[in-house]
Homo-oligomer: A and B are copies of this chain.
Amino acid sequence: MKLGIFGTGIVGRLLAEKLVADGNEVMIGTRNIQNTLAKNEPDIIGTPPYIQWQEKNTKVKLGTFADVAKFGEIIFISTFGDVAINAIDMAGTEHLAGKIVIDTTNPLDLSNGIPPGFSGTVGNSLGEQIQRHLPQAKVVKAFNTLSMHIVVNPQREEGDPVLLIAGNDQGAKRSVGEIAKGWGWKDIVDLGGISESFFLESFALLWIRYAFKNNSWTHAFKLLRK
């Protein structure tokens, strides 16, 4: 399958590695290819330069957001939350019409540094913003509530964590569920329509703030049903 990813950061790279290992063709999209390839310093959170990663991941193509939007049958939005809509505009919304768009972003407030705060508001979560911006796409909020390291390798010693997803299109949610099952997720819970994204985004911040407070990057939540 041809899969596209917006965002060259650690989230996009981990996704790309996993999707290539799964046998897919993968293209990562960036704002400016030359700038991305020219970087030779780690980024703000210590992620090594993209070019170093690409040398080890030669199967992954690099393109503009528009290249990726045209290429992918399914598109992952894995930029920082505050530039997601802009990335989609650069891609051309027409190239995303009818496609499954998986939104992994979170509304982080970095104005007070680390740990991040939360800039989401009810009715205007990033998932809802993206769906409204792409009325012809099938947006699924998923893979945002815990570290992407865990997303692509969900087996925990202490049990099976829950993967929470939301979106308006049942078929698109089933497709996302299939991808997740392929990665080892056993408990996938559909919270409902895309407006549930707010609760997935605030839940992500709970994960993140626990992470910074406890210097823990391996935790996850299991849903106990009884």
A→B interface (CB under 8 Å): 109, 117-119, 121-122, 156-159, 161-162, 164, 189, 191-192, 196, 198-200, 202-203, 205-206, 209-210, 213, 216, 218-226
- Report the minimum CB–CB distance from A26 to chain B (whole Å): 29
Copies in the complex: 2
Is B203's CB under 8 angstroms from A191's CB?
A: no
Per the bound structure, the CA–CA distance linking A158 and B210 in Å amounts to 23
- Does A191 contact B213, Cβ atoms closer than 8 Å? yes
Q: Is A213 within 8 A of B192, CB to CB?
A: yes
Return chain B residues, CB-CB under 8 Å to A209: 191-192, 196, 199
Specify which chain B residues have a CB less than 8 angstroms from the CB of A156 in the assembled complex: 224, 226
User: Whole-angstrom distance between the alpha carbons of A206 and B189 in the complex?
Assistant: 12
List 10 A-B pairs, Cβ < 8 Å.
A119-B122, A156-B226, A157-B224, A158-B226, A162-B221, A199-B202, A199-B205, A202-B206, A221-B222, A222-B222
